């Protein structure tokens, strides 16, 4: 019964704790230990503020965010289109990275377990995408929610179990809560990616759509707050656990994560093949749990913008979902480094966050729309703080991307 009341939160965890989060947190932990834990902590706090705000707006007005941006903001149509394009690019790049990482991981894992060449990355990618598309073809939101809830539980259990095998010193976690920026070329990109994968524009827009899809109203405000708190708390714990796994293995050995398999291979001699297998299962769960939301959000965004029904059995939904999933074949076919594809895509998402948060700040304080449910001082202070944090990390993301492409 309780799980059913936090379904939207688990759906968001399924999207949020994907291979993008795994690779970004693992990369941060392998490079800086727990030194960037403060980024994760602040990102989760601001995520809570914003998903509460987006959920509250939808509960009160019955409108989803992109549709509201288009109707009620100056230049709202242009803003909504820009956000759809930006989030779609980020989603497709993210999907390419997700499938690239999972297929590479399974291919390398089978080499370690059975020897030989292992299973082809392309074969793995085709199998995963075919299964996902079939489930999208026959499913509906309630089914997606139950599937993602199961994957989240499996993923969380695997990551927590892995952490206890390689747990870092408690003092390192405490020191990591003190804000600092490492003097290293990739630091800005990693910080922006950590923010983008935890506190991103797409997550907020999705929150509005999911609350609407759930059918909640203003009478469910307390339920929405509880759901948001559970969601963000689990995000913080799981992301912190992934960072701790990398900090407890690769950081002490001076091995930065360039490929996800780097971490898996390092876990084997330190904690044994069992720990490696558990962590691999966790990453696969994270990857598959992210594929569904990413494939769903693009047709959802279009429906949100146009004000049409979000019908997963419509031909438009199925065609767009199929085209989205095809992006997952990019890395297995063309090659590339999927870890940096994921880090780059999540860093790019951080550049969209200031626009989304500013837009919601004006909408949620519009008395004509919100009536007596306009936010008080503390929620407004949280939104303004999120805007400032978004501009700072967005700027870091731009600088980091420029350094990556020009360096």
- Domain total for the chain? 1
Q: Per residue in 186-238, pLDDT tens?
A: 788 788 878 877 887 888 888 888 888 778 888 888 888 888 888 888 888 88
The C-alpha atoms of residue 222 and residue 211 are separated, in whole angstroms, by 13
Question: With left for phi above 0 and alpha for psi between -120 and 50, is residue 184 left, alpha or beta?
Answer: beta
Report the chain's terminal Cα–Cα distance, integer Å: 53
The position carrying tokens 């008395």 is 367
For residue 100, what are its two tokens? 């690239």
Longest C-alpha distance within the chain, in Å?
66
pTM for this structure? Answer: 0.80
For residue 63, what are its two tokens? 């409108």
CATH number, domain with residue 269: 1.20.1740.10
Q: Which of 390, 320, 379 is nearest to 354 (CA)?
A: 390
The C-alpha atoms of residue 321 and residue 4 are separated, in whole angstroms, by 26
Exposed/middle/buried for residue 380 (C-beta within 10 Å: 0-12, 13-18, 19+): middle
Mean pLDDT of 323-333: 80
The C-alpha atoms of residue 137 and residue 149 are separated, in whole angstroms, by 19
Q: Which stretch, 248-262, 288-302, 336-350, has highest mean pLDDT?
A: 288-302
Residue 166 has pLDDT above 70, yes or no: no
Q: Per residue in 62-120, pLDDT tens?
A: 888 888 999 899 888 898 888 888 888 777 777 777 787 788 878 877 777 777 777 88
The C-alpha atoms of residue 214 and residue 293 are separated, in whole angstroms, by 15
For residue 145, what are its two tokens? 């929610």
The position carrying tokens 């031909």 is 315
Which DSSP symbol is given to 261?
H
pLDDT number for residue 367 = 93
Structural domain including 301 reads 2-406
């Amino acid at each position: 019964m309780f799980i059913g009341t936090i379904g939207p939160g688990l759906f968001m965890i399924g999207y949020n704790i994907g291979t993008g989060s795994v690779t970004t947190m693992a990369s941060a932990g392998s490079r800086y230990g727990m030194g960037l834990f403060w980024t994760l902590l602040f990102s989760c706090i601001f995520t809570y503020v914003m998903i509460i705000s987006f959920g509250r707006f939808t509960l009160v007005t019955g409108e989803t965010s992109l549709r509201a941006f288009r109707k009620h903001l100056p230049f709202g149509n242009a803003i909504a289109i820009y956000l759809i394009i930006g989030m779609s690019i980020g989603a497709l790049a993210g999907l390419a990275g997700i499938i690239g990482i999972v297929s590479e991981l399974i291919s390398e894992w089978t080499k370690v377990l059975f020897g030989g060449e292992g299973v082809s990355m392309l074969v793995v990618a085709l199998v995963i995408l075919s299964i996902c598309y079939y489930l999208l073809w026959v499913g509906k939101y309630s089914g997606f929610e139950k599937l993602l809830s199961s994957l989240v539980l499996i993923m969380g259990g695997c990551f927590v179990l892995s952490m206890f095998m390689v747990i870092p010193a408690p003092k390192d976690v405490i020191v990591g809560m003190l804000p600092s920026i490492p003097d290293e070329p990739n630091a800005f990109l990693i910080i922006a990616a950590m923010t983008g994968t935890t506190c991103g524009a797409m997550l907020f827009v999705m929150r509005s759509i999911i609350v609407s899809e759930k059918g909640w109203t203003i009478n469910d405000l307390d339920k929405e707050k509880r759901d948001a708190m559970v969601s963000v708390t689990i995000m913080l714990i799981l992301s912190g656990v992934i960072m701790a796994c990398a900090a407890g293995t690769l950081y002490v050995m001076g091995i930065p994560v360039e490929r996800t398999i780097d971490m898996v291979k390092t876990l084997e001699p330190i904690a044994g093949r069992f720990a490696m297998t558990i962590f691999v299962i966790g990453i696969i769960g994270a990857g598959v749990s992210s594929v569904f939301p990413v494939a769903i959000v693009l047709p959802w965004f279009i429906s949100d913008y146009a004000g049409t029904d979000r019908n997963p059995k419509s031909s438009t939904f199925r065609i767009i979902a199929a085209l989205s999933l095809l992006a997952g074949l990019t890395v297995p076919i063309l090659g590339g480094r999927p870890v940096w594809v994921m880090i780059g895509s999540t860093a790019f998402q951080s550049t969209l966050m200031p626009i989304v948060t500013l837009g919601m700040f004006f909408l949620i304080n519009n008395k004509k729309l919100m009536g007596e449910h306009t936010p008080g001082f503390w929620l407004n202070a949280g939104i303004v703080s999120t805007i400032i944090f978004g501009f700072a990390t967005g700027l870091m993301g731009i600088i980091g991307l420029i350094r990556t492409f020009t360096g």
